[in-house]
Structure 1
Amino acid sequence: MDLNLRKAIMSNVSGNSANDLEATIVDAIQSGEEKMLPGLGVLFELYWQQADEAEKTEVLDSLEQAVNKQ
């Protein structure tokens, strides 16, 4: 079976508003379900691909701080 997970996730979120995307992200985090992680990864990948270097640096700094607080 050939399942293109990225394509399926993109199909599910295509046309979503910022509020819809936020609800998806919050739900995925609050549910704590492992099956939600690929969707978050695809959303992060989309962000990363369009982010400029300053935005990437800001995200990396925030992630560094977050993972070091754990």
Structure 2
Amino acid sequence: MNNLDLRQAIVRRVQNKSGEELTDVIESSIGSDERALPGLGVLFEMIWRSSEVPEQNRMVELLYNHLHTAESAAPSPS
């Protein structure tokens, strides 16, 4: 199965779901088995491509802040 087929399969899996069902798919995928990561990636790709630059900048800002907050919250190795 190539990448395009995987993307199409993921889109087909969620295409007819309600907003509540999409929320359930996302929430049940987060923190679960790594097999869910490609699906979340495809969903994020869809969001990214349909977002305007200010929204993309906000997502990057949120990610950047989360990554740097997580680093400073990690216990020191000493």
TM above 0.5:
yes
Secondary structure at the counterpart of residue 15 of structure 1: coil
Structure 2 CA distance for aligned equivalents of residues 69 and 28 of structure 1:
23
Counterparts of 2:25 and 2:68, CA distance in 1: 26
User: Which ranges in structure 1 are unaligned for 5 or more consecutive residues?
Assistant: none
Aligned to 2:16, the other structure's residue is in SS state: coil
Q: Any residues of structure 2 matched to 1:1-70 within 5 Å, and which?
A: 2-3=1-2, 4-30=5-31, 32-70=32-70
Q: CA deviation at 1:69?
A: 2.0
Identity across aligned pairs (percent)? Answer: 32
| Structure ID, larger Rg | 2
Which stretches of structure 1, 4 residues or more, deviate above 6 A after TM superposition? none
Q: Deviations over 1:28-54 (max 9, x none)?
A: 014x21000000000000000100011
| SS of match in other structure, 1:43 | helix
Specify which structure has the bigger relative contact order, considering alpha-carbon pairs within 8 angstroms and separated by 6 or more residues. Answer: 1
Give the paired residue count: 68
